[in-house]
Structure 1
Amino acid sequence: MDPAQGDPTARALREAAQRRDWGTIRDLLVPVTDPDDHAFYVESIAGVSGVQDWIGEWVDAEPRSTLPLLVRGAHAVFWAWEARTAARAENVGQEQFKEFWRRLRFAENSLDEVADRDLDDTTARTFLVTSARGRQVDAAEAARRFEDVVARHPHHRIAHEQMLQYRCRKWFGSHDQMFEFARRATATAPAGSPLPNLIVVAHLERWLDLPVGEDDEYLDDDAVRAELNAAADRSVRHPDYVRRPGWPSLHNTFAMGFARSGDLRSAAGQFEVIGDQVTDWPWQYINSNPVIPFLAWRDDAVTAVG
């Protein structure tokens, strides 16, 4: 498991965060201008434990820069979920929830300041889409946050992925809302875009919400397999598709979708691209150690195609 997903810049950023070297983080992030790449790289730092212990030093040292505020806010979103844990709400204690919400408020204060000071920002606004679920904002506010991102970068990958989660039934939406969002984003995305992976995620979320027995029956359906293949043809299998930072999680999502739906030949094609770049998402839905289901399904797919 490589948290940097094989990306050398992400790895360098994570290593700098671990040694509290904010100067290197700044020097690596400043040249990144693509909104999707920028969000991926900030996310790679945000997931490093302990950033809250030193980030104030950077904020104080460069008060005119929004970058340290952005890193502080993005990390605080991850820090908040550490307090809550990944458990279902009924299994999270009241004190955990209080700390979760306290950290999310702290995160949003920093992210809001970045958005206020930098009218062109997309990354802080994207993390506000992420935090919308934890803050339990209403649908109108969640949509406003999402629109703030896509008004600046219409096909922002992480913003779309996070908004899809908000639209899931397990959060604040429904299966219909989730699929409507995924299909509309796919239909309007340019050829070769990563956004059709939302179709795969939607089907996996529907599968996860079904009782045992009905779940596998749902995915073992020609219509589902056809939609997954159509999504891949518009995305990772399209001639215009280009691998960008964070590409392994995209292919892992398609690989799991194909494997679980029984389309092992299509899954094998994705596993071939992935190599050993297994990602936590989405295999964590099957096992807390993503490597276990990844290897099992990869072996099955390779065997199936001979």
Structure 2
Amino acid sequence: MERAGPMSLFSRRSPRSPEYPRSPEYPQPAEYPEHPPQQYAEYPEYPEHVRPPHPSPSPRPRRSPRPRRPLEALRSLAPGRGLWPGRRADRPVSAERIAELGLLPRERQNTGRPAPAPELDRVVAAARAGDWRPGADLLAATGEEWERRTAVIGELAGAARRNDVWLQRWRSERPEDPGAAAVQATAMIDLAWEIRAGARGGRMSPEQSEGFFRILSRAGQDITRAKELDERDPSPYVADIWRGIGLNRPHQEMHRLWGSTVALDPYHLSAHRSALQYWSARWHGSRDLAFSFAERAGLAAPPGLLLSSLWLLAWWDHRPADADGRAFREREVMAAVDRLHEDASAADPGHPHLAEIRHVLAYFLVRQGRAAPALEQFRRIDGHVGAFPWTESPDPVAEYCAFRDLAINLSHAR
């Protein structure tokens, strides 16, 4: 996606640092004890997977990861498989072969989105031109498709970050429109995190820190207003989760917010993805809390809702720095990829995050040496590379094409 705000499923956040100033609202999260598992009775009406997470063994200790290059990935795949760099698998695939497979050349890969989204392109273009009505109409048309609604709100919020004149006109002309309020709340949260993402070396300057916390504090009233205007919509709660991450909200308060969120939509993927960030060791939890949360959500969700992706996200965020092909091929990681593959196969083709999941599958399947299913995913997503993990690279197109070439070569080298 073009936007990289908090609601992006696979956006990467700067790790916590003791040198980051604390929020004046919640000065030091360590002062608040963890919510003990026996207090689940506070949430008797919710299914088990939405109760406060408790520690469970996670597969690997956390270390700071480093980016992997395609050739490194190949070297980790090659031993024991008869494939070595310089032999077959690492050779660029010819343009003729790419065309034979029905794939697109490098120069035709779109870096803006993970998949075609003409409807979103249309409303974002209209908003940037000053016309808020197409976006308002699209939001109204989403009805109670909450995942889709959250995605549309995120796109419009991304447009408002650059210029919000159209949004303020919308709010002025329709002060009771819950869509406008939700976009405003999300745009404020995105703006705050954009300030933090711009910190050099992972440290915010005093000016950045002041701006970050000031905007997050102001966003509270926008979030409250959005919740009041549509009490059914979980989208403002997703924004509130990210506000809580930034303001170092203690565990007890996050539990209460989470209970309210899943009461509206128990399997909202964007909400779960955001909450997983809160419970990760990077922010206010631990690897055990993150894996516990991910496992519970994945096991409880019906097929096709893509919540099985949470376990892989937890693994990715807590993987060791020296994770090579062997780490990707560990039994539990292989099983998690299988579950996600089944989940994606059962998903509604119109799910707003299905394409992003297919990009993740393509990457993991190549890393695991499973070329045929990887190539199947590449065929489904080819032409758009604006998604994790390719966007982790300075050159997403080159990264994508390198892994695609690996899948093609490996699938024809056996």
User: TM-score when scaled to structure 1?
Assistant: 0.89
* Range with bigger deviation, 145-154 or 38-47: 145-154
Matches of 1:164 and 1:7, distance apart in 2: 27
Q: Secondary structure at the match of 1:288?
A: coil
Judged with a 3 Å threshold, the aligned counterparts in structure 2 of structure 1 residues 164 and 55 are, in CA distance, closer, same or farther, namely: same
Q: Which of 123, 126, 134 is 1:16 aligned to? A: 126
Q: Which runs of 5+ in 1 are unaligned?
A: none
Residue 291 in structure 1 maps to residue 397 in structure 2: yes
Deviations 1:222-257 (A, max 9, x none): 332122212322x1133x553322322121122223
Following superposition, the deviation at residue 88 of structure 1 comes to: 7.4
SS of structure 2 residue aligned to 1:236: helix
Identify which of structures 1 and 2 has the higher relative contact order when contacts are C-alpha pairs closer than 8 Å and 6+ apart.
2
One-letter amino acid of the structure 1 residue matched with residue 191 of structure 2: W
Partner of 1:256: 363
Give the aligned partner of residue 316 of structure 2: 204
Q: Structure 1, residues 43-94: CA drift from partner, whole Å, max 9, x if none?
A: 1111224243442222222122222221111111111122112557742212
Q: CA RMSD in A?
A: 2.2
2-structure distance, mates of 1:39, 1:195: 16
1:227 aligns with 2:336: yes
**In 2, Cα distance between the equivalents of 1:24 and 1:128?**
26
Q: Is the 8 A contact 2:365 2:371 kept in 1?
A: yes
Amino acid at match of 1:290: P
Moved more, 150-159 or 47-56: 47-56
Alignment partner of 1:36 is 2:144: no
Pick one of 337, 345, 366 that aligns with 1:237. Answer: 345
- Asked whether 1:303 is paired with 2:402, we answer no
Structure 1 position 42, deviation (Å):
0.7
Q: Which has the larger radius of gyration?
A: 2
Q: TM-score, normalised by structure 2?
A: 0.67
Query: Which residue identity lines up with residue 110 of structure 1 in the other structure?
Result: D
Give the counterpart letter for 2:287 in structure 1: H
1:302 to 1:147, Cα distance in 2 relative to 1, 3 A: farther
Aligned-residue offset at 1:4: 7.5
- C-alpha distance in structure 2 between counterparts of 1:94 and 1:256, whole Å: 39
- 1:199 and 1:231 in contact (8 A); partners too: no
Q: Which amino acid aligns with 2:153?
A: V
Partner of 1:178: 290
Q: Spell out the pairing of 1:39-50 with structure 2 (5 A cutoff).
A: 39-48=150-159, 49-50=161-162
SS at match of 1:69: helix
Is residue 114–residue 387 contact of structure 2 (8 Å, CA) maintained in 1?
Answer: no
SS for the counterpart of 2:288 is helix
* CA displacement, residues 17-52 of structure 1 (integer Å, 9 cap, x when unaligned): 211211221122111120011001111111224243
Q: Is residue 67 of structure 1 aligned with residue 179 of structure 2?
A: yes
Inter-partner Cα distance in structure 1 for 2:334 and 2:395? 26
Work out the CA distance in 2 between the residues paired with 1:216 and 1:98: 42
* 2:217 aligned with 1:109: no
User: Is the 8 Å Cα contact of residues 197 and 232 (structure 1) preserved in structure 2?
Assistant: no
Which residue of structure 2 aligns with residue 167 of structure 1?
A: 279
Higher helix share: 1
Q: In 1, distance between residues paired with 2:250 and 2:307?
A: 24
- In the alignment, is the contact (CA less than 8 A) between 2:153 and 2:183 conserved in 1? yes
Shift in Å, 1:280: 3.1
| Number of the residue aligned with 2:62 | none
AA of the residue aligned to 1:113: R
Q: CA deviation at 1:214?
A: 4.2
**How far 1:217 moved relative to its partner?**
4.2
Cα distance change of structure 1 residues 4 and 252 upon mapping to structure 2, 3 Å threshold: closer
8 Å contact kept, 1:13–1:24: yes
Return 5+ residue gaps in structure 2 as ranges: 1-110
Tell me which amino acid in the other structure corresponds to 1:40.
A
